[in-house]
């Protein structure tokens, strides 16, 4: 069987780390992008290698158009292909409308939305030459429902949904599929800091009465990256335990 390669942005921690490991367990070579902790990225790559696959780390700010272009070229050179791209990099800079600083709005849009565009833009050229590929963009139920104090984050994640649908239409003729995952509350470092009151409030609107595990998200990513989802494109799949029904 031909060895395939997945590139996961923001692959050092949380959901990104789980996605990288899930693909490694399926036999994919793994390129781990990071921009913060090199130690965390190395740990992810090491765990992937324990599954018997090749893994390398790549430092790059996804908001930097030229740096992303160089990263994609390097990954393609190192592994021979980019079969699956998972755009997982993202940040939050929460605040109410009248208190939000312009730079906090801009930074979230730059990394979450423009970063996703940058990665798709440069990976697409490689995938078009291959005449195959799967692109998975990480959105959020917040991008569908909105949320008080997260208008910048919600705007970036809603933008990813529109980006996903448009790019899916453009790339379908080249056998490249583009889908989005919209998680609800997930058990990560980000949600561990929630107060008991905040957790209870969240749980009250989740039909399954629990937060997602990172593996709940990773399992869907692997499915969307595989040939088992070969007739699925342009979709946003909510993994929220029934929160947004």
Instruction: Give the catalytic positions in this structure.
Output: 153
Neighbour-count burial of 50, counting CB atoms closer than 10 A to its CB (0-12 exposed, 13-18 middle, 19+ buried): exposed
CA dist., res. 24 & res. 3, Å (int): 11
- Kindly state the tokens that stand for 37: 């902790």
């Amino acid at each position: 069987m031909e060895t395939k390669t997945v590139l996961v942005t923001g692959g050092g921690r949380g959901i990104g780390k789980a996605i990288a490991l899930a693909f490694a367990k399926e036999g994919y070579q793994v390129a781990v992008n990071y921009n913060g902790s090199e130690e965390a990225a190395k740990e992810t790559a090491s765990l992937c290698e324990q599954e018997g696959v090749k893994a390398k780390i790549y430092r790059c700010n996804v908001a930097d158009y030229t740096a992303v272009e160089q990263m994609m070229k390097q990954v393609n050179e190192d592994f021979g292909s980019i079969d699956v791209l998972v755009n997982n990099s993202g940040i939050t800079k929460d605040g109410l409308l009248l208190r939000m600083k312009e730079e906090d709005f801009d930074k979230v849009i730059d990394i979450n939305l423009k970063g996703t565009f940058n990665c798709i833009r440069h990976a697409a050229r490689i995938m078009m030459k291959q005449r195959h590929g799967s692109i998975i963009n990480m959105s959020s139920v917040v991008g569908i429902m909105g949320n008080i104090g997260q208008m910048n984050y919600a705007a970036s994640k809603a933008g990813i949904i529109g980006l996903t649908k448009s790019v899916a239409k453009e790339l379908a003729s080249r056998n490249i599929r583009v889908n989005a995952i919209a998680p609800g509350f997930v058990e990560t470092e980000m949600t561990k800091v929630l107060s008991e009151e905040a957790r209870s409030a969240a749980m009250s609107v989740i039909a399954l009465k629990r937060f997602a595990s990172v593996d709940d998200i990773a399992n869907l990513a692997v499915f969307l990256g595989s040939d088992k989802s070969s007739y699925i494109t342009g979709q946003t799949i909510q993994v929220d335990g029934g929160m947004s029904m």
